[in-house]
């Protein structure tokens, strides 16, 4: 037996077990498990456990798959909106100027760790701190089922623009231009029909997952060979097949793999360098500045005609530092521009920003509802067409979430009650498809306090049917219904038995387990056919 591999395996068992334990503790205190994974990295770092080969491979693969799945869900139309590219450009410029001046000022004063930094390096650090974490934001949006919401699309669009800026910076910092062979990467665009054809033929099982891995890892490798950031290749490959009807199914199939591999990424943050009191104090002092970043995000978004709620929710998603800061620091350390302790400083600030951002994202709708008067002061009277509070057109039955279950519920209720039924969803493309088929479906968000405030004033809805993608989305909608003391009936869907009781406790008058009840519905359908 190869005892070297035994040692590696034991090391991996250590971090896997500790990650599970601390992730489980985080869940018990209503924090995302990723907070426990970050803590695991720092604990292992303190104990002197080095990052193993398996862990690093998991981290790299997790980020690649994450960006691939982002590409699968990305709408390129979002990137060309002024609310995305203008906000990103202005925000990065403002933060670099402010943070850069502050860092350079501390360097001139001879502050520990800052002394020796010139203006160029100060601006580089400020550039790193201006970014928000793609990994964290996508994870948070997916858990709440808000990837397709307007604030989710705006946040993802801003992150993609930041990632593009990161690619340019990395190329410039290394002094290397992409290889001339990189021009061949443009051939991937005319090859898209072939990718689509293969996707159509893969079926719905293990070949679909394997094909996703081929596209993600193959795209990353091709871009790496062309001298372009490999993660961008995974993102582009996702975008190339995002218009195919099976792209959503592929994203769902790969979800578990991506989540597992991302554990390695969160652990590797805490294990990126040796802790010291100096690094810990500076890392802690950097944390409050995420709210400075947030303030500018909110102000800029509202100036570009986004509603106060949309701006706030997108801002809270972006209230964190980015893993890109570690990459920038690593470049600076490698080139001898800064002390190696900056890796630890940014890792601490990044990790603590996640700890703060996680609970804020869990209560984002409550933050908006409780201080709505304050946020509304910044809202402009003129707003975008897709960011206005919707009118339910006098409907008495509202179906929230027009996926497969919602669509079936809408058709059945319309057959029974006529045109008094309205469907509501936050996915623009899905809405257009339903409208083209003659369904009365509107753009909206059931966790929107402004929407329910309007419903309370001009009340006509008697039955709310919640068929939202996950438990948290349903609970957020139920919370808003409680806020307005909604007197009608509320039916909600659950995927697992342990979700039923929380829904009832939150105010649902009827809970339908879509997996358990599917068999009942199938049997009833067969009996009806037999009688006919």
Rounded CA separation 446/513 (Å):
20
Rounded CA separation 81/150 (Å):
12
The percent of residues above 70 in pLDDT, for the chain, comes to: 85
Q: pTM for the full model?
A: 0.73
CB 268 within 8 A of CB 57: no
489-494 and 510-513 strand pairing: parallel
* Per-residue CA distances from 221 to 157, 275, 442, 503, 506 (Å): 24, 34, 42, 45, 48
* Per-residue CA distances from 474 to 102, 126, 491, 511 (Å): 44, 39, 10, 11
pLDDT, average across residues 30-46: 77
Straight-line distance from the first to the last Cα atom of the chain, in angstroms, rounded to the nearest whole number = 68
Rounded CA separation 238/252 (Å):
13
Choose from 143-152, 294-303, 372-381 the range with maximum mean pLDDT: 294-303
CB 307 within 8 A of CB 151: no
The alpha carbon dihedral of 67, 312, 493, 34 has a sign of positive
Position 393 scores a pLDDT of 63
Confidence of residue 286 (pLDDT cuts 50, 70, 90): very high
Q: What is the crossing angle of helices 134-144 and 308-317, to 10°?
A: 120
- pLDDT above 90 for 297: yes
Q: How many other β-carbons are positioned within 10 Å of the β-carbon of residue 388?
A: 12
Q: How many other β-carbons are positioned within 10 Å of the β-carbon of residue 60?
A: 17
Confidence of residue 452 (pLDDT cuts 50, 70, 90): low
pLDDT in tens, 168-197: 776 566 556 677 777 788 888 888 899 998
Rounded CA separation 43/267 (Å):
10
Structural domains of the chain, with CATH:
55-376 (1.20.1530.20), 389-531 (3.40.50.720)
pLDDT in tens, 486-506: 888 998 888 888 888 888 998
Position 157 scores a pLDDT of 87
The alpha carbon dihedral of 421, 427, 428, 429 has a sign of negative
Burial status of residue 415 (CB atoms within 10 A of its CB: 0-12, 13-18, 19 or more): exposed
- pLDDT above 60 for 453: yes
Choose from 411-420, 449-458, 481-490, 517-526 the range with maximum mean pLDDT: 411-420
Confidence of residue 390 (pLDDT cuts 50, 70, 90): low
Alpha helix ranges (H) inside 323-470: 324-334, 341-362, 364-370, 372-376, 404-417, 428-436, 449-457
- Close Cβ partners of 353 (under 8 Å, ≥ 6 residues apart): 133, 287, 290, 319, 320, 321
Rounded CA separation 304/397 (Å):
34
pLDDT in tens, 328-347: 777 777 777 777 788 788 88
- What's the chain's length in residues? 532
CB 347 within 8 A of CB 272: yes
Longest dimension (CA), the chain: 88
Rounded CA separation 330/121 (Å):
13
* Per-residue CA distances from 200 to 141, 214, 251, 355 (Å): 28, 15, 14, 41
Q: Count of alpha carbons within 13 Å of 165, Cβ hemisphere only?
A: 22
List the structure tokens of 20.
């599970």
List the structure tokens of 70.
């982002």
Give SS3 for 465. strand
* Per-residue CA distances from 46 to 33, 40, 285, 346 (Å): 20, 10, 21, 17
- pLDDT above 80 for 450: no
Helix, strand, coil % (nearest 5) of the chain?
70, 5, 25
pLDDT in tens, 342-375: 878 888 888 889 889 888 988 888 898 888 889 9
Higher local confidence (pLDDT), 265 or 244: 244
* Local structure of residue 418 (DSSP, 8 states): G
Element (H, E) at 464: strand 463-466
* Per-residue CA distances from 456 to 230, 386, 452, 491 (Å): 51, 22, 6, 19
CB 408 within 8 A of CB 471: no
pLDDT in tens, 51-80: 666 677 777 788 788 778 878 877 677 777
- pLDDT above 80 for 483: no
CB 398 within 8 A of CB 339: no
Of 16-30, 139-153, 375-389, 496-510, the least confident: 375-389
Distance of CA 256 to the CA centre of its chain: 15
């Amino acid at each position: 037996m190869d005892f070297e591999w035994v040692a590696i395996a034991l090391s991996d068992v250590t971090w896997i077990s500790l990650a599970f334990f601390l992730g489980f503790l985080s869940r018990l205190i209503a924090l995302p498990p990723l907070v426990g994974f970050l803590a695991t990295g720092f604990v292992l770092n303190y104990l002197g456990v080095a990052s193993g080969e398996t862990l690093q491979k998991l981290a790299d693969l997790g980020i690649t798959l994450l960006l691939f799945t982002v590409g699968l869900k990305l709408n390129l139309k979002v990137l060309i909106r002024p609310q995305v590219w203008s906000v990103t450009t202005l925000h990065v410029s403002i933060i670099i100027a402010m943070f850069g001046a502050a860092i350079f000022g501390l360097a001139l004063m001879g502050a520990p760790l800052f002394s020796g930094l010139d203006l160029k390096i100060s601006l580089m650090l400020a550039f790193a701190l201006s970014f928000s974490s793609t990994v964290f934001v996508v994870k948070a949006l997916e858990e709440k089922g808000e990837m397709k919401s307007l604030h989710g699309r705006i946040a993802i669009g801003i992150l993609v623009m930041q990632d593009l800026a990161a690619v340019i910076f990395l190329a410039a910092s290394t002094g290397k231009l992409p290889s001339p062979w990189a021009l061949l990467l443009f051939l991937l665009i005319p090859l898209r029909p072939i990718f689509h054809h293969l996707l159509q033929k893969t079926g719905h099982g293990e070949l679909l997952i394997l094909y996703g891995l081929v596209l993600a890892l193959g795209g990353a490798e091709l871009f790496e060979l062309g001298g372009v950031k490999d993660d961008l290749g995974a993102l582009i490959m996702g975008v190339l097949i995002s218009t195919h009807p099976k792209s959503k199914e592929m994203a769902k199939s790969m979800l578990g793999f991506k989540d597992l591999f991302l554990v390695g990424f969160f652990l590797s943050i805490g294990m990126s360098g040796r802790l010291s009191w100096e690094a810990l104090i500076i890392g802690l002092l950097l944390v409050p500045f995420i709210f400075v970043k947030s303030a500018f995000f909110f102000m800029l978004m509202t100036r570009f005609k986004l509603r106060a709620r949309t701006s706030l929710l997108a801002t809270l998603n972006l209230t964190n530092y980015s893993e890109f800061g570690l990459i920038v620091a690593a470049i600076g350390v490698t080139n001898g521009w800064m002390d190696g302790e900056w890796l630890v400083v940014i890792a601490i600030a990044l990790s603590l920003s996640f700890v703060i951002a996680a609970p804020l994202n869990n209560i984002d709708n409550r933050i908006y509802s409780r201080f709505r008067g304050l946020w509304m002061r910044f809202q402009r009277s003129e707003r975008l067409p897709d960011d206005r509070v919707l009118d339910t057109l006098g409907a008495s039955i509202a179906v929230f979430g027009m996926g497969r279950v919602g669509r079936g519920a809408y058709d059945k209720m319309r057959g029974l009650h006529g045109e008094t039924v309205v469907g509501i969803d936050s996915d623009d493309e899905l809405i257009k498809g339903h409208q083209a088929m003659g369904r009365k479906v509107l753009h909206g968000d059931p966790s929107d306090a402004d929407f329910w405030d309007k419903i309370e004033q001009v009340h006509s809805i008697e039955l709310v049917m919640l068929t939202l993608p996950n438990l948290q989305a349903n609970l957020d909608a139920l919370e808003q219904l409680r806020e307005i003391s909604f007197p009608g009936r509320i039916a909600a869907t659950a995927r697992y038995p342990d979700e039923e009781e929380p829904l009832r406790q939150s105010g649902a008058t009827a809970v339908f387990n879509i997996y358990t009840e599917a068999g009942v519905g199938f049997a009833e359908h067969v009996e009806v056919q037999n009688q006919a």
